Structure 1
Amino acid sequence: MENANQALLSAVLEGFVDGILVLTEDGTCVHSNQKGRALCRDLSPSDRDDLPSGLKAMGKHLLESREFYPDTLLVLTQEFTSRSGQQIRARIQWLDLPTAAHAYLLVSLENKTRSAHTSAMLEAVQYNLTPRERAVWVLRRANRTYDEIAQELYITVNTVKRHLKSIYAKRKEVTEAIAN
């Protein structure tokens, strides 16, 4: 039965969109899903599979906070920029399992860059954007400046502004239709 439970837990964790790590109190990783391992490699200064120093520091702070706030469920959140330029949001909290002898730390890693891209693509469909508007919108939702969008798409800043004006008008139209 123990192996079946571990297989089920592993399958569930692999299905998460976010990276998931389960750590012991000393920072040893006892389980991670594939996305978690990939994001950790991207957050580390080298390609080694070590726990990135920022995550180690978050774990240390959570451990220290337990002494001061023993009855409070704390969730620490911090954002990092990975080696590949992705924005990663890390959340760390206690994971108390009733059958476990000691507590674990649960780390979730969200690729905010990918999430923003996915949201922008869904909005592009919802707002019925043209392919060029979609390209502009995806970059804008990734917090790119007008100049950066213009350079990447080989268009002028005025063209970027014109596309965004059209996008905002379409977005307003959809929002008003939903409200009514």
Structure 2
Amino acid sequence: MMTASLSSKADQPSSTHSPLQPLSLQKGQLTPSQIVQIGKTTLETHIGSVLIVTDDNQVLYVTESLPGRLKALTETGKDGSFTTQEINFICQVLKQSRDRFPSQNWAIEFDIFTKDAISLRIRSRWLKLEGIDRPCILLIVEDRQQFIQDMVLDEVQDWGLTAREREVWLLHRDGYTYKQIAAKLYITLNTVKKHMRSIHAKRKVQAEPS
């Protein structure tokens, strides 16, 4: 699987693909077998909201939490439908990637930062559903901070990190530099480096086959 990570809309591609039509919570419903195929835990995640569309822009599934999570990015119609340039953009990128490299199965992660200090992470990938004759796109929209915190919590438990190492690693995962981590935690730069060496050592031990 090929993975691309995007952080802005600055390099939006030109495309002949048409954008998604306004999305509505009234559209689409998955069959029980399709839910099992995707994974019930994915659709019921408390962190992420889910959208599934076909490559010709037919909406198959929208979780009720999606409009609220995308509130800062959407334009809402009188009928309750909503549109977002970011969702359209990601679908366009996936389609272009497939057109250019049809043998690869692409996945894209897209971080969005709004003027209201809201940070979202959108994960997307191609999906083949039984009973649907067209390729589908699965998009999971998550609170970026919550996503990072949950990921770090798992790593802390797996690697046996100390409380201070957890604080350092969380900031590192969130994109802070060593100097910024030192300033944030009121510790020296050398102390940050010491903690990071310890974290990577524990990470390496955990990754080694038993």
Q: Same fold (TM over 0.5)?
A: yes
Q: TM-score per shorter chain, which class?
A: 0.5 to 0.7
Instruction: For 1:115-154, list aligned pairs within 5 A.
Output: 115-154=147-186
Instruction: For 1:38-117, list aligned pairs within 5 A.
Output: 38-42=68-72, 44=73, 48=76, 50-60=82-92, 75=106, 77=108, 79-83=110-114, 84=117, 86=119, 88-93=121-126, 98=131, 103=134, 105-109=136-140, 111=142, 113-117=145-149
Query: How far apart in 2 are the matches of 1:91 and 1:4?
Result: 18
SS of the counterpart of 1:22? strand
SS of the counterpart of 2:71? helix
SS of the counterpart of 1:125? helix
* Aligned length in residues: 169
CA contact 1:40–1:51 (8 Å) conserved in 2: no
1:106: Cα distance to partner? 3.1
Query: How far apart in 1 are the matches of 2:125 and 2:185?
Result: 38
Matching residue of 1:19: 49
Larger Rg: 1
**Structure 2 residues not aligned, in runs of 5+:** 1-28
Which contiguous aligned blocks of 4+ residues in structure 1 show a shift greater than 4 angstroms?
A: 3-6, 24-30, 46-49, 60-66, 71-76, 94-97, 102-105
Query: How far apart in 1 are the matches of 2:199 and 2:61?
Result: 43
Query: How far apart in 1 are the matches of 2:110 and 2:196?
Result: 28
1:41: Cα distance to partner? 2.8
Change in CA separation of 1:93 and 1:38 when aligned onto 2, cut-off 3 Å? farther
Tell which deviates more after alignment, 24-33 or 130-139: 24-33
Query: How far apart in 2 are the matches of 1:81 and 1:107?
Result: 18
Query: How far apart in 2 are the matches of 1:75 and 1:151?
Result: 38
SS of the counterpart of 1:41? coil
Considering Cα pairs closer than 8 Å and 6+ residues apart, tell me whether 1 or 2 has the greater RCO. 2
- TM-score normalized with structure 2 length: 0.56
CA contact 1:86–1:113 (8 Å) conserved in 2: yes
How many percent of aligned residue pairs carry the same amino acid? 21
1:4: Cα distance to partner? 10
Measured on the aligned residues, the alpha-carbon RMSD in Å equals: 4.1
